[in-house]
A and B are shown apart, each in its own frame.
Chain A
């Protein structure tokens, strides 16, 4: 069974190939074919679809996590404008170059991934619907979208002037979706060992270190007031 993670991962592999092309000296030659413009228009449209789905919380608007939804909505508007200014999207014709192939592959993988997520909301909602709508999932997705948008922006800058303007929109969309800053870490990576220390009662003649160790233990016990016996004993 194919998972969403596998779809994202194959999209990311093709994105890496695009990034590699961006590092080569003849990137301009690769990027300046009309096929690339159409592939970028389509790729950007897929990214806009994601933003829109996140913005509406997959058709369950709520007042919670307004910040995430707002970011998704704004990035969606910018992505759609970028896609429109890039012109006609590519269709079912064979991709015209290796770079076009990787862009097409990214569009297909991301598109199929979104369909996979959407399948949990058609008819009766699946148990995974809650995970898909969770705020952390939305933020994770926005970071993925930002990475793809930034790469598309780099590529767009190689296009002739009228289309190159879409690069600015794509860069803005990326910043809105995931503000630049320290590398993003999912909240779960910050989870420490959960352990409630034994109480260390104060004793006469303690030095400063012993006293603060005892205080720290008590503070940690109070922070876990829910567990049995942490406060009273």
Chain B
């Protein structure tokens, strides 16, 4: 059985021997965009959570776990080769609520799993799946 003809095998990412198609470029650009957006979201979340943790004497007990998950997700995502250096544009807005951060984490983990699916480079897949894991834990922590 030639597995390459099984169109339902979406997991298969054996490199295509054909020339690169125009839509591969589109996909690569889209991947970089989605990873950059996720990275910005995660660093925003990390910064806000650090501020929350510093606000009150027991702030770290309330927010430390979430802060750590955001930091881990951020760090893993930085390993993705498709993230171009310096692509990140830090958000200056530091206003956020637990609800908005929960929403941010849910969106980020969902987008990262999709990105993992469309990435061709195993290192991109790896970074997305690890970052998604921690973004998911961030979401659960903020529930």
Contact = CB atoms under 8 A, between A and B. Distances in A.
Given A92-B117, A105-B132, 13 more contacts: A6-B126, A10-B130, A17-B137, A46-B11, A49-B11, A95-B114, A101-B113, A101-B132, A109-B116, A109-B125, A111-B11, A112-B126, A114-B11
B123 interface: yes
A109 B129 contact: yes
Interface residues of B, number: 29
A110 interface: yes
19 contacts: A2-B125, A17-B136, A42-B10, A46-B11, A98-B106, A98-B136, A98-B139, A101-B132, A104-B113, A105-B116, A108-B11, A108-B113, A108-B125, A108-B129, A109-B125, A112-B13, A115-B11, A115-B13, A119-B14
Contacts of A89: 8
Given A46-B11, A49-B9, A101-B109, A7 B122 contact: yes
B54 interface: no
Given A13-B133, A95-B110, A105-B132, A2 B11 contact: no
Interface of A: 1-2, 6-7, 10, 13-14, 17, 42, 45-46, 49, 89, 91-92, 94-95, 98, 101-102, 104-105, 107-112, 114-116, 118-119, 122
Q: Which 8 A-B pairs have the closest CB atoms?
A: A111-B11, A2-B122, A10-B129, A2-B126, A101-B113, A108-B116, A112-B125, A2-B123
B126 A92 contact: no
Contacts of A7: 122, 126
B136 to A, nearest CB: 6
B132 A107 contact: no
B115 to A, nearest CB: 10
A122 B14 contact: yes
Nearest to B106: A98
B37 interface: no
A115 B126 contact: no
Contacts of B111: 94
Contacts of A119: 14
A14 B129 contact: yes
Contacts of B12: 111, 115
B47 to A, nearest CB: 24
A112 B3 CA distance: 14
Nearest to A123: B17
B118 interface: yes
